[in-house]
Amino acid sequence: MADNGTRESAGTPALSNGHVRLRALGLADLDWLRAAETDELLAFRWRLRGGHPSPHDFVDQLWAGLLVMFVVERVGDAEPIGVLSAYQADQRNGHCRVAGARLALDGSMDTSFLAGLALFFDYLFGGWPFRKLYLETPEFNLPQFASAVERGFLVPEARLTEFVFLADRYWDVLFLAVTRESWASARTSAVGRHLLKAAEKTRVG
């Protein structure tokens, strides 16, 4: 209770900034998500690493250890931009794994997926007492996250050398981290405010 006797209200993390939104993955999404993950654009770049699990195994692997999974979509036409997930949440030690994939790997990076990532970080740090979020990625995927790394949203913390094989060579795997402190700083930067400004206007609390 507050000193004046009124009940304090808790703000809840926003799921939209007016241009993009996060919505929970549902059963109706499973077919197109499996198609996207086995398409040549993502086949070797994300979870399945080129494999084709059975529909049953695909669902089991998708939900195993999962905390949350969102579809990032445009508000105007509900067009999916990408998917974001949090898994292997370690409540005792205060960290969690995160993963993300853009569904259109055309070499460009507008702010749509980055805005979804910002909303996602806000959601996780606002809803759980995590100290740190970890994203594990092969180095051939780094261009997808270059914008977030350059802006300080993600910081390389560890590297496993020559850890995965693709296209006739071995590649390093990097662990990119965002801490509660680094995110608090990044979200109040000019870029962070731009990505979250509409969300701030609609925040409850």
Quick one: pLDDT at residue 95? Answer: 97
Q: What integer pLDDT is reported at residue 204 of this predicted model?
A: 41
CATH (domain of 86): 3.40.630.30
Separation CA 106–CA 41 (nearest Å): 9
Q: Is 4 inside a domain boundary? A: no
- pLDDT at position 54 is 93
pTM greater than the 0.75 cutoff: yes
| In a domain? residue 149 | yes
Q: Is residue 5 part of a domain?
A: no
- pLDDT the model gives residue 48: 84
* Of 47, 41, 53, the residue nearest 103 (C-alpha): 41
* pLDDT tens over the chain, length 205 residues: 445 555 566 678 899 999 999 999 999 999 999 998 998 878 888 888 889 999 999 999 999 999 999 999 999 898 899 999 999 999 999 999 999 988 865 544 467 888 999 999 999 999 999 999 999 999 998 887 787 788 777 889 999 999 999 999 999 999 999 999 999 998 888 888 888 876 665 454 4
Q: Which pLDDT value is given to residue 159?
A: 97
Are β-strands 169-179 and 132-138 bridged in parallel, bridged antiparallel, or unpaired? Answer: antiparallel
Element containing residue 119 per DSSP (H, E): helix 111-127
CA nearest neighbour of 37 among 56, 26, 50: 50
CA nearest neighbour of 22 among 97, 75, 65: 75
Residue whose pair of structure tokens reads 């995590």 in the numeric block: 130
* E strands present in the chain: 20-24, 66-74, 80-90, 95-102, 132-138, 155-166, 169-179
Q: What is the model's pLDDT at position 146?
A: 81
Query: Whole domain around residue 129: which residue ranges?
Result: 20-202
pLDDT, position 151: 76
pLDDT at 6 (0 to 100): 52
Task: Please report where in the chains the tokens 């909303």 appear, as a residue.
Answer: 119
**Confidence (pLDDT) at 156:** 92
6 domain-assigned? no
Residue 139 token pair: 């180095």
Give the pLDDT confidence score for residue 174 in this predicted structure.
Answer: 95
137 part of a folded domain: yes
Residue 97 placed within a domain: yes
- Give me the number of domains the chain comprises: 1
- The reply to whether 13 falls in a domain is no
| Residue 56 confidence (pLDDT) | 92
Please report the sign of the dihedral spanned by the C-alpha atoms of residue 10, residue 13, residue 16, residue 18. Answer: positive
| In a domain? residue 2 | no
